[in-house]
Amino acid sequence: MNDDGLAARAATGDAAAFGQLVRRHQSVLRGFLLRLTRGNAALADDLAQDSFVEAWRKLAQFRREGSFRGWLMRIAYTRYLMEARRKKLESLDEQAETAERNDGLEPGVRFDLERCMAKLSIGERAALTLCYALGHSNDEAAEILEMPVGTLKSHVLRGRKKLLAMLESE
């Protein structure tokens, strides 16, 4: 069954259907949050859990105009922003810990990208991750991040430019 069908069943109180959605999207959501939190796996998992619980409570508000994953990402991004404002980003850095990765890339290459990514702003990290790694269109990514498409494109361009400068200097 596709996401929309499962979400419709879950909205009627079917917890098993929602469980399927959780299992289906947990990896990508936690991966997204892991990048936003600059590798803080514990914080990323807490936020992911909170996001799923909030999604369960707000399922009736999911209008199926966009994808379920996009809607979930929006909840997670908003939660991350609230957490970042509450705790201040510096304290998030202090808690950062190395996360387990198994994507098959050379450890050095992945390390460099993540290290450079961590130096970007929240908006740049989120925009680049959504548009490149998760393959969302500019419109979808802008909707998830609740910003105009022009702002999203600026984040992507600026972030990419900064990353390029960092990679060239290595």
x/- map, 14-53, other proteins, by CB under 8 A: -x--xx--xx--xxx-xxx-xx---------x--xx--xx
Q: Which helix (H) or strand (E) holds 111?
A: helix 107-117
Candidates 92, 128, 141, 145; binder of other proteins (CB under 8 A) is 128
Q: Does 63 bind other proteins (CB under 8 A)?
A: no
Q: Does 1 bind other proteins (CB under 8 A)?
A: no
Candidates 105, 146, 148, 150; binder of other proteins (CB under 8 A) is 105
The span from the CA of 156 to the CA of 170, in Å, is: 21
Q: Does 77 bind other proteins (CB under 8 A)?
A: no
Residue with tokens 């900064």: 162
Residue with tokens 């922003």: 81
Q: Does 103 bind other proteins (CB under 8 A)?
A: yes
The span from the CA of 29 to the CA of 25, in Å, is: 6
124 and 158 Cβ atoms separated by less than 8 Å: yes
Q: Which residues of 136-155 are buried (b: 16+ CB within 10 A; e: fewer)?
A: beeebbbbbbebeeeebeeb
Candidates 87, 88, 110, 119; binder of other proteins (CB under 8 A) is 110
Residues that bind other proteins (CB under 8 A): 15, 18-19, 22-23, 26-28, 30-32, 34-35, 45, 48-49, 52-53, 56-57, 99-103, 105, 109-110, 113, 128-129, 132-134, 160, 163-164, 167-168
